[in-house]
């Protein structure tokens, strides 16, 4: 490890141990972060990253170990104490009030007062603008948070911490909600912060990101530090192995596909968004049996509405959808499902699961009314239980039992419940909407393998993903969606060109217009970035 030995690290966590009944969430964890360093904390879901950060932020008391700031041992009693000591936390789920302005959100809890009664809004605005300027993201303090894009909302969160004079910033999976472009922008902000001497703890399980942004990487597995690496001396495979504890196939064996007749045909489909705008504008494509067709595109280009129209959750206003030769455009969700349409939704907690229901009930959520799960209207609990046991085993769902609420499972295992339910042998078409969002490498590997297997069994798969690498990894053909239209349809690897697709995603293949593009945030837009995602694969 480099750096002057004279000055103690900005933050040192020594031998942190935190036990919960039955588990050791953190076992003698050592972590040190220097001033001006971006330190990545890498680990699978449930590895103990969050617990460690909760200890740092005063949300959990460690059973053993100590925390030193600038070499001085400190006791962090609660989040207010942590903030006072210059520790700022940017949560994965933003803690913002949508109807308030940027300035009001930032002031909440750290009110700058003119006197004992009134806020000093002018001074607050001045400081916000100044901070924004200093770190390279000028923001309108009077913009309402609800009108900002997700990327800018995250910057408001960062500003909130900076406004409270945080010098150690913890970012919990900051890129999980961002588009590739926004990720690039946020990375620029983080680098600027580090250059100014801030210490940044960057929590993630995305390997390429960590390699790109971090100065140092600490990998945690099952509550223990299993290694610390410099990005220059490691790679994705090495990190994945450290993280999972075994060799991981980052690139699944895709093999060759044998596509036959089209099973899902979409013709001139037109769909309106909730706001009444036509966001799918005359989309046509066909998915053939035994192939994976990917839809690449920056989030918000009509993919959600397209998927909802195909699966029956939303009425289309024009065009047709055919499933294995039958016109299903006016069919209900259930009719489509009964005729062989499977669907892994993009938002698993909103659409995919009833979190309060047991794992077994979630496994039969779409077929509870059929034999053998029901006789007439009476449920056949024994059959449901037996089915659930089988699926839990087959899909390696980590759960204490079939009878626990699905909400108690980790994200990866929740997704496995959905996959176990939707990936059935009799499918004609399977729609996968962001099937691996927020999942760790092990779960991603598993789901990708399942998808390839299902394809080889003769199912036509439509994959929608904001992760271009995932699309490139799995798809036999790739359609690029831009502003509600399919602007290109290209063959997948090895012919597919990542830079070319990235450019199509960002610009639709046209010369970039000089006016402000799609984003409604009213914020400065960076030039379309073609290197959607760096790193090797």
Partner 1 sequence: MISRPRSYAGWVLVPALSILLALLVASVLIIASGVIGRQRELDLLLPLVAYRSLLVGAFGNLRGIANTIVAATPLMLTGLAVGVGLKAGLFNIGATGQVLLGGFAAALVGTQVADAPLFIAVPVAMLGGILAGALAGFIPGFLKAFTGAHEVVTTIMLNALIQLIVSGLVNDIFRVPGFSFARTATVGNAALTGFGGTTIHLGAIFAFVCIPLSYWLLWRTTVGFEIRAVGANPTAALYAGMHPRRMMILTMSLCGAFAGLAGAIEILRLGYYPAVFGTSIGFDGITVALLGRADPVGILFSALLLGAMRAGAPLMQIEARVPVEIIDVIQGVILIFLAAEIVVRRIFRLRTTPEAGELQTITRTYGEKVVG
Q: Are 39 and 61 in contact (CB under 8 A)?
A: no
E strand or H helix at 268? strand 262-272
- Contact positions vs partner 1 (CB under 8 A): 311, 313, 332-334, 337, 343, 345, 350-358, 361, 365-366, 368-369, 374, 377-379, 381, 405, 407
Minimal distance in Å, beta carbon 403 to partner 1?
A: 8
**472: its two tokens:** 């490139």
Which residue number, 55 or 341, has a Cβ lying nearer to partner 1? 341
Which residue number, 340 or 352, has a Cβ lying nearer to partner 1? 352
Minimal distance in Å, beta carbon 370 to partner 1?
A: 9
Which residue number, 384 or 447, has a Cβ lying nearer to partner 1? 384
| Distance in angstroms (rounded) separating the CA atoms of residues 57 and 67 | 11
Which residue number, 404 or 489, has a Cβ lying nearer to partner 1? 404
What is the side-by-side order of every strand in the sheet holding 318-323? 278-288, 262-272, 318-323, 326-327
Q: Give me the half-sphere count of Cα atoms (radius 13 Å) on the Cβ side of residue 453.
A: 10
Please list the residues that pair with 283 across neighbouring strands. Answer: 269
Which residue number, 94 or 357, has a Cβ lying nearer to partner 1? 357
Those residues with Cβ within 8 angstroms of residue 96's Cβ, 6 or more apart along the chain or in another chain = 105, 145, 153, 156, 157
Minimal distance in Å, beta carbon 275 to partner 1?
A: 12
Q: Are 434 and 346 in contact (CB under 8 A)?
A: yes
Which residue number, 311 or 454, has a Cβ lying nearer to partner 1? 311
Which residue number, 400 or 494, has a Cβ lying nearer to partner 1? 400
Q: Are 82 and 76 in contact (CB under 8 A)?
A: yes
Q: Are 259 and 288 in contact (CB under 8 A)?
A: yes
Minimal distance in Å, beta carbon 353 to partner 1?
A: 6
* Residue 341 φ/ψ region, left for φ over 0, alpha for ψ in the -120 to 50 degree band, beta for the rest: beta
Pick from 78, 79, 64, 88: nearest CA to 11: 88
Which residue number, 23 or 365, has a Cβ lying nearer to partner 1? 365
| DSSP track, 182-219 | HHHHHHHHHHHHHHTT-EEEEEE--HHHHHHH-SEEEE
Minimal distance in Å, beta carbon 287 to partner 1?
A: 20
């Amino acid at each position: 490890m480099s750096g002057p030995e004279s000055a103690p690290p900005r933050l040192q966590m020594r031998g942190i141990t935190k036990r919960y009944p039955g588990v050791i969430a953190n076992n003698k964890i050592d972590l040190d972060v220097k001033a001006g360093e971006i330190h990545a904390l890498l680990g699978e879901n449930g590895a103990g990253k969050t617990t460690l950060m909760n200890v740092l932020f005063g949300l959990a008391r460690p059973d053993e170990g100590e925390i030193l700031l600038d070499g001085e041992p400190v006791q962090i009693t609660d989040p207010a104490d942590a903030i006072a000591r210059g520790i700022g936390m940017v949560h994965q789920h933003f803690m913002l009030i949508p109807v308030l302005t940027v300035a009001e959100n930032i002031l909440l809890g750290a009110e700058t007062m003119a006197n004992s009664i009134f806020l000093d809004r002018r001074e607050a605005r001045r400081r916000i603008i100044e901070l924004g300027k200093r770190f390279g993201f000028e923001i309108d303090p009077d913009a309402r948070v609800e009108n900002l894009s997700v990327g800018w909302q995250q910057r408001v969160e960062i500003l909130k911490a900076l406004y409270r004079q945080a010098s150690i910033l913890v970012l919990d999976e900051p890129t999980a909600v961002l588009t590739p472009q926004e990720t690039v922008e946020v990375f620029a902000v983080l680098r600027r912060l580090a250059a100014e001497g801030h210490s940044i703890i960057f929590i993630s399980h995305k390997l390429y990101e960590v390699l790109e942004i971090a100065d140092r990487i600490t990998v945690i597995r099952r509550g223990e530090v299993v290694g610390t690496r410099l990005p220059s001396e490691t790679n994705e495979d090495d990190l994945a192995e450290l993280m999972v504890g075994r060799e991981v196939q980052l690139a699944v064996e895709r093999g060759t596909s044998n596509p036959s007749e089209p099973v899902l045909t979409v013709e001139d489909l037109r769909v309106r968004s909730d706001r009444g705008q036509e966001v799918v504008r005359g989309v046509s494509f066909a998915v053939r049996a035994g192939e994976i067709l990917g839809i690449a595109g920056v989030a918000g280009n009509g993919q959600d509405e397209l998927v909802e129209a195909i699966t029956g959750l939303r009425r289309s206003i024009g065009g047709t959808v055919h499933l294995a030769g039958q016109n299903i455009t006016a069919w209900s969700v259930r009719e489509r499902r009964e005729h062989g349409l499977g669907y892994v939704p993009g938002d698993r907690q909103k659409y995919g699961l009833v979190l309060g229901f047991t794992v077994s009930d979630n496994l039969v959520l779409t077929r509870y009314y059929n034999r053998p799960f029901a006789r007439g209207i009476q449920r056949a609990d024994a059959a449901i239980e037996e089915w659930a046991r089988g699926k839990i085993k087959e899909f390696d769902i980590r759960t204490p039992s079939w009878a626990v609420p699905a909400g108690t499972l980790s994200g990866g295992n929740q997704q496995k419940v959905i996959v176990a339910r939707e990936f059935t042998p009799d499918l004609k078409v399977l729609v996968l909407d962001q099937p691996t969002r927020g999942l760790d490498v092990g779960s991603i590997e598993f789901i990708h393998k399942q998808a390839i297997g299902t394809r080889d069994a003769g199912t036509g798969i439509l994959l929608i993903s904001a992760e271009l690498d995932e699309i490139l990894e799995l798809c036999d053909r790739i359609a690029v969606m831009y502003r509600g239209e399919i602007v290109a349809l290209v063959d997948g690897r090895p012919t597919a060109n990542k830079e070319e697709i990235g450019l199509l995603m960002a610009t639709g293949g046209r010369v970039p217009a000089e006016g402000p593009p799609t984003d409604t945030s009213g914020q400065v837009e960076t030039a379309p970035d073609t290197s959607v995602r760096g790193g090797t694969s």
